[in-house]
Structure 1
Amino acid sequence: MPAATSPPPPEQGDITALYHAHRLELVRLAALLTDDRETAEDVVQDAFTAAYQRRGPALAGVDDPLRYLRRSVVNGARSVLRRRRTARMWVPPHLPPAPSPEEDAIRAEEDHRLRAAIDALRPRQREVLVLRYYAGLTEADIARTLGMAQGTVKSTANRALKSLHRMLESPR
């Protein structure tokens, strides 16, 4: 019975032989650094892929390919840990609590009343208020848009707001 022979040592620059000979060792190294086997496998796979893309299948220009791969695995594990730390430190913005259905109903009723009051204004008053508060125009811009004096815009807006106030303050 012939004696079992161990696989030949990987050639200096053969990435396939290095992969078969040292993948498990590198995965164990990455697993110890990242504390996650699946992530460790990804880190090692990324290291081999990057080495192949940068140096080719013969790992041209690399004196010690295994040391080069170990360094890539350690750097990849560090990157994983940095991303984890960053993700853990991120605090989502505080969102105000969602309004209750009752608050939504009240708001919808108030919006309806406001829209009805705006619709009840004279057309010129409605135009001035919409341009001022919805479009965000200045009094000068409104005056140019509507072809009226800036003082007229001011007085029209003032009368319109007083009318709205009276309509909204009246009993329902």
Structure 2
Amino acid sequence: MRRTPPATRTLFPPPSRAAEALAAPPEPAAPADSVDPVDPTDPVEQERETALARLFERHYTSMLRLAALLGADDPENIVAESYYEIYRKWRKLRDADRAESYLRSVVCNLTRMRIRHLQIVRKHAEPPPVEWAVSAESTALLHDDQRALINALRQLPPRQREALVLRHWMGLKEGEIATAMGISSGSVKTHTARGIAALTQVLENRR
């Protein structure tokens, strides 16, 4: 999915799954957190559009890198869906710091769900599992990272991988990692320590 400059659009386009949901016949009762009809003259709506455009400019690349490092096979789709989720929940957030933190959490959750789904699909599929493949844009983002380290990172359990990526690639503090992962600070320490030990073991076995 190609990035579209925020100045040329008013909505972050939802990925295919979200688009299909929007195209489906309306339910009898809309969910409480559904997107309200957009009124471009509404000051609150204008504030949301401005804040989301700024959030997109500042964090799109880092969120794309995060999704790719966490193991998403379609990081652009994950990030697009995450921004769409932010758009839907903006009236509840209304704060740039909370929005950034929530965005990271959504990227982590969606990536985790995506990986779990692919594991189930591939487990029951007759053909052998498809080799790891990422888009050209994601490959470019990861070009400067050591290939051996990235490959070793992908072999870790999801929680350990998340803890290490958020700490050492994203540079988050322990409390921020706990918020993004939806776990306690103590669990962050545990996953980080185990992740480092496992990563070291994987790298040593490659020698």
TM value normalised by structure 2: 0.34
Structure with greater Cα Rg = 1
TM-score (norm 1): 0.40
RCO comparison, higher one (Cα < 8 Å, 6+): 2
